[in-house]
Amino acid sequence: MDRVRQAAGVSNGSLYHHFPTRAHLAGALYLETLRDFHAALLKPLAADPDAEAGVRGLVRGYLRWVVAHPERARLLHRLRRNGELEGMEGVWAAPNEVAYAALGAWIGRKVAAGGMRRLPFAVWMALVFSPAYALTPQWVAQDAPTVPPAVRAALEDAAWHAVAPA
């Protein structure tokens, strides 16, 4: 907390007024990072692409954000896994609801049009994002994170084939 206070150039009172505990500060940082991540992730869906282009665009958006913001990606992974947000679970509920609603609406339209198979949302999310999510710690541990083109293509292909119509 003291390093944050010094870097921000604020008094102890000011810092602790806004962030009474380390968890509150971590929660605020997590929330800001999560919102930025969601915006980047959902950007490929803005033009309402067809199902395949949208799924591939989501994976591509995820990878681009991780490579462009490795410190922020590390932060999202670390704060949730290390229990530094204990008691702050409600912090990310609202932004997740908004992002999941937008994604769910897009998925619903594509399923209704026959462009994707109908799956429970949690299963759809796991099939599309879990491979990239599992590899994220490996990428962000690099000095200059990269995802080779062949790996990007394989992740996009796997995501699409997992949810493509049967």
What does the angle CA 5 – CA 75 – CA 125 come to, to the nearest 5 degrees? 145
Pick 28-163's CATH classification: 1.10.3720.10, 1.10.357.10, 3.40.109.10, 3.30.465.10: 1.10.357.10
What pLDDT was estimated at residue 96?
87
Q: What separation, in Å, do the N-terminal and C-terminal C-alpha atoms of the chain show?
A: 53
What pLDDT was estimated at residue 125?
97
What pLDDT was estimated at residue 106?
98
What pLDDT was estimated at residue 124?
98
What pLDDT was estimated at residue 46?
96
pTM: 0.83
For residue 50, how many other CB atoms are within 10 A of its CB? 11
Phi-psi region of 10 (alpha: psi -120 to 50; beta: other; left: phi over 0): beta
Cβ atoms of 23 and 85 within 8 Å: the answer is yes
What pLDDT was estimated at residue 84?
60
What is the domain partition of the chain in residue ranges? 28-163
Segments of the chain scoring below 50 in pLDDT: 5
Distances (CA, A) of 70 to 29, 99, 114, 157: 15, 21, 36, 23
What pLDDT was estimated at residue 12?
63
